[in-house]
Amino acid sequence: MSAYISFKDIKKTYEMGEVTIKAVDGVSFDIHKGEFVIIAGTSGAGKSTVLNLLGGMDTPSSGDLIVDHVNISNFNKKQLTNYRKDDIGFVFQFYNLVQNLTVRENVELATQLIKNPLDIEEILDAVGLKDRKNNFPSQLSGGEQQRVAIARAIAKNPKLLLCDEPTGALDYNTGKAVLSLLQKMCREMHMTVVVITHNLALTPMGDKVIYMKNGQVEKMLINPEPTPVERIEW
């Protein structure tokens, strides 16, 4: 099975005055379609740079980044904009919802310029917000707002769902529920999900775990039988 996403000897350097910072230094890995992947590491390990590269928010200094048989490493700004719009669903630590739009309108907004969006009602039902679709963000809990953010990202029908510390602003039980939802979406919708986290306790839930340290892949593990989030404690 050929890889859906391939990092091939990717390097990303930044110049700060006379100092060259190697944010990512020769990173290689493959992600297969429908995999739930966790990229773990402490602050400064390079995982956020990997997320920015995967999400088309930055370009590598060298190396090849292949997504669904297309090399995006040399994309220009317009191509990267279209890639972010059409192919990537983002879920961040903070929900970034439009406060004066309802739940349904927030999700709808994300699908308006998309080629093959999913059915909004079905997605809201899948994330457990069917009865909250006419509420505004201010009327929702943090966990519900993060569910809206997930619904918004999934409704685009992206090739890749990128989640950056998706439980960072949530309490323990709500965070577990959100991770469980992401795991469920990956399994039921065959969506490729990448979760960036500093919380090593979450690693058993991934099909694949990529540990990063000092801008490099320290090790990579495959979990033949990933642990359901409900059975993980931290």
For the residues 171-193, what does the mean pLDDT come to? Answer: 89
Mean residue pLDDT across the chain: 93
Burial 93-130, CB ≥16 within 10 A → b, else e: bebebeeeebbbebbbebbeeeeebbebeebbebbebe
**What SS3 class is residue 3?**
coil
Residue 78 · residue 62 · CB < 8 Å: no
Task: Give the pLDDT confidence score for residue 1 in this predicted structure.
Answer: 66
**Does a structural domain hold residue 79?**
yes
**Does a structural domain hold residue 28?**
no
**Does a structural domain hold residue 4?**
no
Task: Give the pLDDT confidence score for residue 177 in this predicted structure.
Answer: 86
Domain with 37, as residue range(s), is 33-62+74-231
CATH code at 162? 3.40.50.300
Task: Give the pLDDT confidence score for residue 83 in this predicted structure.
Answer: 95
**Does a structural domain hold residue 137?**
yes
**Does a structural domain hold residue 6?**
no
The backbone torsions φ and ψ at residue 109, rounded to the nearest 5 degrees and listed phi first, read -55, -40
**Does a structural domain hold residue 11?**
no
With tokens 């919802």, the residue in question is 97
**Does a structural domain hold residue 168?**
yes
Residue 62 · residue 53 · CB < 8 Å: no
For the residues 165-172, what does the mean pLDDT come to? Answer: 85
**What SS3 class is residue 218?**
strand
Q: Is the dihedral of CA 106, 35, 184, 177 positive or negative?
A: negative
Residue 2 · residue 190 · CB < 8 Å: no
Please, where are the H alpha helices in 20-129? 47-54, 77-87, 103-111, 120-126
* The total number of structural domains that make up the chain: 1
pLDDT tens track for 88-97: 999 988 888 9
SS (HEC) of 5-32? EEEEEEEEEEEECCEEEEEEEEEEEEEC
Question: pTM value?
Answer: 0.91
